[in-house]
Amino acid sequence: MNSRFVIGWAILCVLACAQGPLASAQALGATAPTVTTGPAQQVQFASATVTGTVNPNGTATSYYFQYGPTAAYGTATSATSVGAGSAGVAVQQPLSGLSASTTYHYRLVAVSTAGTVAGSDLTFATSRQPAPVVATSAATGVSATSAVLNATVNPEGVPTTYYFQYGTTSGFGQDTTTRSAGSGTSPVHVSQPLSGLSAQTVYHYRIVAQNSVGTSRGQDRTFRTPRR
């Protein structure tokens, strides 16, 4: 066999075999992401937004948040890509379905081929769930003997009922029948017709809404029935 051929083949083998260790060395030289857990924002009784910063340090990186009522967390958000840059990127994730009046632990976690890094453990406390939010509206369809009472009720996510109080003084004295306002999280219009009123009389009225959290009463408003 030609000696030059043998030498050339040997050189090629050495170069080829060197590629594996070289590639491994490059992988080992990659830097794991840098992670900072940020403050929670927009904290309410059932929701919050958790924040943080991730620096991918040049390697494709994804992140997620862990959260729960203890430092063991128990729940994680879905993983989201943050790219492969080399500068810090602000990230955030809204959380919903939380329990009112509860302290939550959370942290930011970043993952790349260079490693998995968890940020520091931080906490936030959800607020107490509010009672229904109500507003007494103007009466409509006022005649000598009848009227329609109106209001808005926001159940704040809890099954809520409502009724109107009314009468010829600010002590009211009479209640309409109780009805459901649902369990939504936005104001809904509610109304109740009245009949058997006296002509040329000033009536006071207000909305009252109740749920398991508490009772809310609207402002006292008035209307005057005309003569017959």
What are the extents of the domains in the chain? 34-125, 133-224
Burial grade of 58 (CB within 10 A; 0-12, 13-18, 19 or more) = middle
Same fold for the pair 34-125 and 133-224: yes
Q: Please name which of 62, 41, 63 lies closest in space to residue 51, comparing C-alpha atoms.
A: 41
pLDDT of the chain along its 228 residues, tens only? 444 444 443 433 433 443 443 333 344 578 999 999 999 999 999 999 999 999 999 999 999 999 999 999 999 999 999 999 999 999 999 999 999 999 999 999 999 999 999 999 999 999 999 999 999 999 999 999 999 999 999 999 899 999 999 999 999 999 999 999 999 989 999 999 999 999 999 999 999 999 999 999 999 999 999 998
Options 3.30.420.60, 3.40.720.10, 3.40.50.1980, 2.60.40.10; which CATH number does 34-125 get? Answer: 2.60.40.10
Residue 28 has a pLDDT of 55
Q: Tell the CATH superfamily of the 133-224 domain.
A: Immunoglobulins (2.60.40.10)
- Give the whole-angstrom CA distance, residue 48 versus residue 93: 9
How distant is the alpha carbon of residue 40 from its chain centre? 11
Predicted pLDDT of residue 189: 98
Could you tell me which of 223, 222, 45, 208 has the C-alpha nearest to residue 134? 208
Contacts of 79 (CB under 8 A, 6+ apart): 62, 63, 64, 111
**Which pLDDT score is estimated for 9?**
38
Q: State residue 163's pLDDT score.
A: 98
Which long-range contacts does 58-61 make (Cβ < 8 Å, 24+ apart)?
Answer: 58/30, 58/31, 58/84, 58/85, 58/86, 59/30, 59/31, 59/33, 59/84, 59/112, 59/113, 59/114, 60/84, 60/112, 60/113, 61/33, 61/110, 61/111, 61/112
Provide the pLDDT for residue 24.
38
